[in-house]
Structure 1
C-alpha cells in the first residue's frame, strides 16, 4: 500500500520511498519522548501502558493496542490494549469478530513496519463509508473517525499488529501524522521483539520445573504469549493417557475436537488479558471425549514484572461414567439437594439452558439455582463458582 501523492518505484521499498518529515520544536520533543517511553517499557512492570498513554496524547488516539493474531483462523491470542471499555477484550477474544474486522484484515496484509490508515487524510469521507455493517455499528457507537495500524512482525503463524483508532472529533490521521508513525514503526518492532524475548527467557524454567514436580496434581504453566512454558510430570502422565488432550508441536494445549481447542485458546488468551490488568478471574474449559472428561481450570498469573505474567492451568480428570458426589457438594457449598444437582451439572460444563433441558425445568429455575449458589458462597461470577466446584470434586 502507498500513501496519496507518494509514488513508489518498482525497485524501491516503502521505508526508503516515504518522505522524511521535518520534526522541530515541540513536535520533535514529543516524538523523542514517545521513543524513550517505548523503550522504558522494557524495564517497567506496567507493560506497554506508559507508551500507550504517550501515544494516545500525541496522536489523539481513542483506543487500540498491540495484538498477537493467529493466521487461520484470524484470532487474538495475546495482546496489550488501551482505551476499550471494561470487558471488551474478553468479549472480543471469545467472538468471531477478529475474522470480520476490516482493520485487522487490512493491517496483517501490510508490509512490516509500514503504517496505513483508512482515510489517509481524506476529509471528504468518513470511516463509516468504508466499514462493513458489523464494524460500522461499533464505530458509530464509540464515535470512531479513523483507524491507523501496522504489521509489526509475522512469525511462526502469528501476526503481531499495532493499531490505533481515533475519535471523529479529531478528524482523520493526517499525512504528517502517518509519516511520524512510520518513524516510530521500527522502534515499535524492536520493542515488541525484545519484549517477547524477555517473556521467553526471564523466567527460571529449571527452578519452575523442579517446583511444579513437587506438586502431585497435573499443572501446566503458559507464558504471556499463550505458549506452554512448563508441564509437570503429573500433567504429562495425564495427557499421555488422554484420548482427547495433547500438546502440539508449537507448545500449545490442544484437543482432538477443534471446537474445544478454540475454547482453550480463547480462555487462555482471556486469562492473559486478565493478568495484564491484575485480575485473578479464572476460566474453566471442559474437554469431553469418548468417556473421558477433563476440566482445565485456568488462573491468571500476575508477577512483579509483566514479562513473567502468564496462566496456571490445573487439569482434573473425571470418569464420565461416575455420578458426582452430591452429598459432598451440599456440605461444601451449603446448598439444597436441587442446587447440588445443578452444581454437579456445572462441573460437566453445562450451561443454564442445557441444565434446564436435562432436568426438565424452566430456564428461570435453573438460573435461580445458580444465583443461589453464587450468593451462598460469596462468588460474583459463574466462572469463579465453576472453578471452585471442579476443584472440590477433583
Structure 2
C-alpha cells in the first residue's frame, strides 16, 4: 500500500471539497485509485424515511439495474443491514462476512453484483445526525484480490480527514440554505434592508432598499458599493454604529437614529449586528451588520416566522420581540405563553444577545424602528 504513503494531496482535495463539490468527488476518486478499486459510491439518506438525498457513483450502471436492485434485492440485502449498523468511522468489507461459498449462494452477489463486476465492497459510515446519514463505499472486481486488513488500516488514516471534511460540507450546506432563505425573506419586507461589512460596504440589499436609495428625498446613497450619508454628522454616526455592530472579539451592539428627509418626514436608520454564525452572515463567515431604512410612522405586520428568519430568532423569541414592541410586558408574555416569568426572562436574555441590544428599551426601540407591530 505504498500508494497511500503520501496522503497529503488527497487530504487537500477533501478539504477543498468543502466549498467545491468537484474537488470533493476528485478526492474520493483519488482514494479509490489509491485503494486499487474500480469505483466508489457516495450516498446520503434521510435518517427517518431512508429516502436518498444524494447519490454519486463513479461507475455507471447499465440502464434498469438500479430499479432492479430496488425491486428485487434492496429489502433483503444482508450487506445493507451491516452498513447501516456501523458506528461513524467504522470500516467494514464484504469479505469480512462473506466467503467464496457464501458469495456463490447469496442472490445479491451471485445475481446482481458479480455480473456487474463487483466482488468486494469496503464501506464506511462517514457521519450521521438527526436529519441524515452519509455512507461511502469502494469496490473491487472478481479478478482482483479482496480488500485486506492492512489496506483497511491504511484507509483508516484518511478517515479523520474524511469525517471532518464531511461535517464541514454538511455545515456549509446548511449555512448556504439558511442564507438563501434569509436573503429571500428580506425581499418580502417593506423596509429597505442592507447587509454591510465593518466599512459600510454593501454585501446585499433588498428591493425596498434599492427603491429607497433611488428616492430624491432620502439623505443617503450607494457610492462605490458603500452606503454613504449626505450629512457628515449622520455619516459619522452611521459608521460608528456599523463598527460597533461588526466587532469581532468584544460584544457587538445595535443602535438606531433618524434623519429628516423632507417636511414632516423622517428616515429611521437601524443597525443590528449579524454574527458570523447568523444565517444572513454565513455566506461570508465574518460579523456583518444589517441596516434598516424605514419610515418610523409606517407600520407592517409580518409574521413572527419572518421576523425570526430575518434576525435569527427562535419562534418564541420572535413572538416575544413583537409583544414587547406592541407595549406588552414580560408578565403579559409569560401569561400568554403559559410559561413562568423566569422562562420568559431567559427568552428575553437570548433575544437581547442575538440582537446586540443591552437594554430592553433599546430592543423595543429597535423593533419599532424596524416597523414591526403585532398583528
TM-score over 0.5 for the pair = no
Larger Rg: 2
Q: TM-score, normalised by structure 2?
A: 0.43
TM-score of the superposed pair, with normalisation by structure 1: 0.41
